Amino acid sequence: MMQDRYLEPHQARRRPPTEWESLLGDSLERAFAAGKHELAPIVEYLNQAGPPAPNGVPWTEELLQSELARLAETA
């Protein structure tokens, strides 16, 4: 009998997350737990709760999308 094989999310990482990446992930989890599931409310949440976006600029929808895509490539 062949077992289904799956990859644990952490097995796919090439490196440990940085402190900033961990803070971003924690904040995103809190936003989801608060019922924020659309991009605009999540961006608003990040701008209020942090962490700040790269270079300290305010989060925008475009910036969050590009940053998450960048992190997905380097994870």
Rounded to two decimals, the pTM is: 0.79
Whether 74 shows a pLDDT value over 90: the answer reads no
pLDDT band at 40 (very low <50, low <70, confident <90, very high): very high
Assess contact for 6 and 66: CB atoms under 8 A: no
pLDDT tens for residues 13-33? 678 889 999 999 999 999 999
Per-residue pLDDT at 6: 65
What is the structure's pLDDT at 36? Answer: 97
Q: Is the dihedral of CA 23, 27, 33, 36 positive or negative?
A: negative
User: Average pLDDT, stretch 48-69?
Assistant: 95
Rg (CA), the chain: 15
